[in-house]
Structure 1
Amino acid sequence: MPLPVPVLWVLVSLALLLAGPVSVQSSQHEDGPWFTLETLNSGLGEPPEQVRRQTPREALRSFLTLSGKGDFEAAAHLLNLTELPAQEQATRGSELARQLASVLQRGDWLQPSDLSSRRDAMVEDMSGNHPLAGQARRNLLLTSLEADGESHAIRLARYRAGDQAPVWLITPDTLAFVPVLYKAYGPSWLERRIPERFQRSLGMLRLWEWLAIPLFMTLIGLLGWTVYRLTSAMAGWLPVGSLAKRFVARIPVPVTFIAMSLMAQVLLGSVVSFSGVATAGFRILLIVIMAWGMGLAALRLVDAFLHRMTQRLVGEIDDTRHRDERKLLTSLYALRRGIILITVIAVTVYILAEINLFGTLGLSLLASASVLTVLVGIAGQAVLGNILSSFQLSLAKPIRMGDLVVFEGQWCYVEGIFYTFIRLRGWDERRLIVPVKHFVSQPFYNLSAKDARLYRQLALTLHISADIECLRQRFQELAEQEPDVIEPDKLCCYATAQNEATIEVRCYMMTREPMGGWVAEARLREKLLAFIRDEHPEWWPREVVAVSRRDVTIAEGGEASFDSSQAGEGHSGSS
């Protein structure tokens, strides 16, 4: 019984799948893989002797050298023209070579030394970190250029026609988009009007470029100066104290660089175009400037907003403010540092993605996590340590903005907590800058950890006959009159030490905050000293000397004298 047609189709399909894939136009040879062709550029004839195509490095170097000399007929032998009719390969090939050379000259700075010098383009990586290490390749990406909103790859591939030796050529897929790329990267209207004698190469650039680049940079600089002046003047027109004024006053520099970058891109895109080395340099520089300017402008906006919020919610901060307000300000500073970190990471990722640093400059080995970790760890150990310590302070909050601390014997207010340092304001308005890592590794007093209250004490040394109860009552009367002294029930005065001639009296008080307490202590000391001087001068410490009668003699003239060497020992005290 014959099988139905659908069943036969299923069986045939299964047989084809089990038989394995159909062989494509590639083969294996002792030199490595390649694409197999029946004929190769039959309309061009035999290639000249100066055409070198055995390795990727030789092929690119040969194409750039021949096109630089204007020998586009010979440079056409570095193109795979098999998709063109044989009778058109000579004329169309030289024209495609000319256009491709112009595109490469202005679109990207290609270095033949970045390509493999092996015929099979095998990746030689002794460390084994490269994913293609030890594998032969037959298709290489030279660069990728944008045109009409699309990305077009320029590739080299290895071909073998018949029994001929394999060669490396620009692929047909690349040649199909050369006219589109030439329209985007070809000579500008200004360059087409430059005399031929100025088109000659002089080093890495052409003769006219050595003159045009300084003029180009001068024009961009004048534009930046104008934008800077206008932005600075605009800040003076805005209302004092407004959010807009604070923001505009801090963005003249980033706005200047953004305007310079935009103007340069417009000129490079429509008025003038330079060689690949200059274009690549300008491209990277403009991307970095644009990203840095926009990131800095965004941070300035965040700073202005946070400052405005701080002024509204908190105002001027010190340790007399409520601890929740100081905690809020500390959190705002931590938020600012987090925004800065995110902005820096975003700008860095954007720059690396735009300039394709790890791909175009051949630094793929440095992109491995292990190498980068070692480099960053060695070079930025101190910086990273301070940054991590800063985030530790932000999370644990052992100190807050406005806290009064005693650090290394100095009384200071915490005025700012930044990524790598802490700014402390001393009582004399001097600023102490301390690395965060050093600050968190040293013990310190936080006099505002719970609240700003602080016990103060003053000590007096008096004669042993002083009336302690009388002094205690006077101290309490004077202390209750001080505005910075609080909780009168905690006022106390005691004799804390004595010797044969003097006693030490200490008075204790609770003060509203440390600096006010220091002032209150000084005032009370002055008032108590005045009380003793005016009403009880006998309380002053004095030295008593005992003299025996037998040592006294009556001198002639009725004067009394004595031998001080025979005097008894005096009782010491504060004179």
Structure 2
Amino acid sequence: MMKELLANPWFGPLVAALIAVPLSLLIHRIGGMVLERVTRSVPALHTMLLSIKLPAKVVLPLVALQLIWQAAPDDLRFVGNVRHLNGLLLIAAATWLAVGAVSGFAEGMVKQHPSDVRDNLEARRVLTQARVLARTANSVLLVAGGALMLMTFPGARQVGASLLASAGVIGIVAGLAAKPVFSNLIAGLQIALAQPIRLDDVLVVEGEWGRVEEINGTFVVLRIWDDRRLILPLTYFIEQPFQNWTRHDSQLLGSVFVFADYGMPLAPLRAEVERIVKAAPEWDGRFFNLRVTDATERTMQIRVLCTAASSALAFDLRCTVREGLIDFMQREYPQFLPKVRFDSESEPRAAAGAMEPR
């Protein structure tokens, strides 16, 4: 029995496999502990290392097994099938490892730039670049991994050769079909690099005010102020105009417009605006003023400017100022609220003229 076992051509490769797998796992454990200690001071690399810990535990034994199967005699029965299966598993595991490395490095970069600070412009820039570029790279890695797995099958290579023979027609059809996909892919790269928008930016798009909640590989999710979601393709932000209220910083200058009769004195209004703004917790202390910006045949337009640290605070501050001014005018100067004037003496003459026969 032992002689027959030793004489089996699979005995040597199997014994080598039984030794190589535990040895590779031991190397993985020791190497992982060393690398974790070394990279602890570098958050991006440390996070990447933690994210590839599990796929690396699969890749190392598969690499060891593939070396053993390749070293086995070619005339060994079923060795070709074993090599092919091990190769497929190795490609899949290597793709998993690469995707984990990209995602882990991106998350590590995000952790180095926390966004829960008052001035989070740099953090939002890094977050947008890391997330968008990581998703784009992972999409390319998954496609490449799937293509490599297909190319290991002879039938797939023959199909590929036949497709190349008719590349003219197929290329035109594929180009037309994949145009939206490639357009969004290129737009995603432009957004990640040029950054016309970032995560948590405040935008006005299609007449809607909201924050950028998500940027993925094909579209952007804008969270509207009333918790609705506006879904827009990536290409929209490359081809269409829109407003970005937090492009350079989160500080904003808010405006409030009210209308009053020409008899309204401006000095009390300026004093009241100063009192309201300085008492408002939303004001950041930078600037405020009151000016008459327009005059119509009936009323004058009064504009109040005031600053806040963010768009949300600016909106609340504008509401506070608007409510305070209206309340002040209703209480102190109700006679100067906007009104429609008419001449009482000319009214009977106009009525009489309308009644005369024509």
**Structure 2 counterpart of 1:529:** 326
**Structure 1 CA distance, aligned partners of 2:231 and 2:297?**
49
AA of the residue aligned to 2:318: E
**Structure 2 CA distance, aligned partners of 1:418 and 1:510?**
33
Aligned CA distance change for structure 1 residues 373 and 503 (closer, same or farther; 3 Å): same
Q: Per-residue deviation at 1:521?
A: 0.4
**Structure 2 counterpart of 1:506:** 303
Q: Per-residue deviation at 1:497?
A: 2.7
* 1:539 equivalenced with 2:336 (yes/no): yes
* 1:497 equivalenced with 2:294 (yes/no): yes
**Structure 1 CA distance, aligned partners of 2:350 and 2:291?**
33
Q: How does 1:144-223 map to 2 (within 5 A)?
A: none
Contact kept in structure 1, 2:113 and 2:122, CA below 8 Å: no
Classify the secondary structure of the residue corresponding to 2:200.
coil
Contact kept in structure 2, 1:403 and 1:448, CA below 8 Å: yes
**Structure 2 counterpart of 1:566:** 348
Aligned CA distance change for structure 1 residues 537 and 286 (closer, same or farther; 3 Å): farther
Per-residue displacement from partner, 1:511-561 (whole Å, max 9, x unpaired)? 32222111100111111111112222222233455545xxxxxxxxxxxxx
AA of the residue aligned to 1:367: L
Identity %: 24
Classify the secondary structure of the residue corresponding to 2:220.
strand
Pick the aligned partner of 2:99 from 284, 299, 310. Answer: 299
Aligned CA distance change for structure 1 residues 368 and 345 (closer, same or farther; 3 Å): farther
**Structure 1 counterpart of 2:201:** 403
Q: Per-residue deviation at 1:496?
A: 2.4
**Structure 2 counterpart of 1:440:** 238
**Structure 2 CA distance, aligned partners of 1:545 and 1:392?**
60
**Alignment TM-score, normalising by the size of structure 1:** 0.42
Q: How does 1:60-71 map to 2 (within 5 A)?
A: none
Per-residue displacement from partner, 1:60-87 (whole Å, max 9, x unpaired)? xxxxxxxxxxxxxxxxxxxxxxxxxxxx
AA of the residue aligned to 1:528: L
Contact kept in structure 2, 1:492 and 1:509, CA below 8 Å: yes
Aligned CA distance change for structure 1 residues 369 and 414 (closer, same or farther; 3 Å): farther
* 1:479 equivalenced with 2:277 (yes/no): yes
Pick the aligned partner of 2:163 from 346, 353, 366. Answer: 366
Q: Per-residue deviation at 1:375?
A: 4.8
Gaps of 5+ in 1: 1-179, 185-242, 256-279, 549-563, 570-575
User: Aligned residues, how many?
Assistant: 285
Gaps of 5+ in 2: 1-7, 11-46, 59-80, 352-358
Higher relative contact order (CA 8 A, sep 6+): 2
**Structure 2 CA distance, aligned partners of 1:565 and 1:287?**
97
**Structure 1 CA distance, aligned partners of 2:86 and 2:178?**
27
Task: Mark the structure with the bigger radius of gyration.
Answer: 1
AA of the residue aligned to 1:524: V
**Structure 2 counterpart of 1:313:** 113
Per-residue displacement from partner, 1:420-443 (whole Å, max 9, x unpaired)? 222222222332221112331111
Q: Per-residue deviation at 1:501?
A: 4.2
**Structure 1 counterpart of 2:153:** 355
Per-residue displacement from partner, 1:472-524 (whole Å, max 9, x unpaired)? 12112211222333354x42212223345432211122232222111100111
**Structure 2 CA distance, aligned partners of 1:335 and 1:418?**
10
Q: How does 1:314-333 map to 2 (within 5 A)?
A: 314-315=114-115, 321-333=119-131
AA of the residue aligned to 2:290: C
**Structure 2 CA distance, aligned partners of 1:391 and 1:379?**
20
**Structure 1 CA distance, aligned partners of 2:341 and 2:231?**
53
Contact kept in structure 2, 1:546 and 1:567, CA below 8 Å: no
**Structure 2 CA distance, aligned partners of 1:431 and 1:285?**
45
Aligned CA distance change for structure 1 residues 545 and 370 (closer, same or farther; 3 Å): closer
Aligned CA distance change for structure 1 residues 415 and 292 (closer, same or farther; 3 Å): farther
Contact kept in structure 1, 2:121 and 2:250, CA below 8 Å: no
Contact kept in structure 2, 1:314 and 1:329, CA below 8 Å: no
Classify the secondary structure of the residue corresponding to 2:126.
helix
Per-residue displacement from partner, 1:102-152 (whole Å, max 9, x unpaired)? xxxxxxxxxxxxxxxxxxxxxxxxxxxxxxxxxxxxxxxxxxxxxxxxxxx
Per-residue displacement from partner, 1:389-425 (whole Å, max 9, x unpaired)? 1112222222222222222222222233222222222
**Structure 1 counterpart of 2:144:** 346
**Alignment TM-score, normalising by the size of structure 2:** 0.65
* Cα RMSD (Å): 4.1
Classify the secondary structure of the residue corresponding to 1:491.
strand
**Structure 2 CA distance, aligned partners of 1:369 and 1:511?**
62
Classify the secondary structure of the residue corresponding to 2:307.
strand
**Structure 2 counterpart of 1:14:** none
**Structure 2 counterpart of 1:386:** 184
